[in-house]
Amino acid sequence: MPRGLKETSGLITIGFSATESAPNTFTQAQTDLQLNVLDREVFVVYGISMDVSPPDAVPGLNTGTFASLSTTSRTTIGDLSVSNVLATGADQIRGGIADGVGFSFNSSDTPATQLEYLGIIATNDFFIQIASQNNVNPKTVFGRMYGVRSTADATIYSALVQSELLSAN
């Protein structure tokens, strides 16, 4: 457990999903953690698993499905170079050959599990983003986040909330 935090729950698993509102359209879903801000409660994230829908095989076109999970609202899919993004996922089909034969690439990235924790969510919500490219059907991302509820002392809580809100883009 990070210094200055006191664990107040056992391991919690939170399921989430987001579906595009239309094919190839950026869509974001919000999940409420129901943290008690009066008790300075935060969520310490230990792991994230994300599965994205496979893209459609469209002859002659590259198709893809891309997703991210962030601590603040976003207007685009995030990558791990952005401090508010905790996980990403992608599945792509390269269909540049005329008969549609291509190859598929799948990625779901979260930092290594040897870390003490992946991140700390200090505000009440986290956000899941999904977007696809050149698909016929809307795509979905499903996932689970693993972590514990903790309380922070006043100075640490204030710093965590401010840092999270300043990382929004």
Domains observed in the chain: 5-166 (2.60.120)
Question: Is the pLDDT confidence value at 60 over 90?
Answer: no
Query: Is the confidence at residue 168, as pLDDT, over 60?
Result: yes
| pLDDT at residue 158, as a whole number | 92
Using CA atoms in the order 75, 78, 84, 89, what is the torsion angle rounded to 10 degrees? 130
* Residue 166 pLDDT grade (very low, low, confident, very high; cuts 50, 70, 90): confident
Per-residue confidence (pLDDT) for residue 103, from 0 to 100: 56
pLDDT at 102 over 70: no
What's the mean pLDDT in 35-61? 91
Structure tokens at 15: 């399921």
List beta partners, residue 87: 69
Q: Which stretch of 38-42, 101-105, 115-119, 133-137 has the lowest confidence by average pLDDT?
A: 101-105
What pLDDT is attached to residue 93?
Answer: 85
- 110-120 mean pLDDT: 74
Has residue 154 got a pLDDT over 70?
A: yes
Cα separation, 68 vs 75, in Å, equals 11
Q: Do the bridges between strand 119-121 and strand 41-52 make them parallel or antiparallel, or are there none, so unpaired?
A: antiparallel
pTM: 0.88
User: Residue 2 to residues 12, 33, 95, 119, 149: CA-CA distances in angstroms?
Assistant: 17, 20, 46, 10, 12
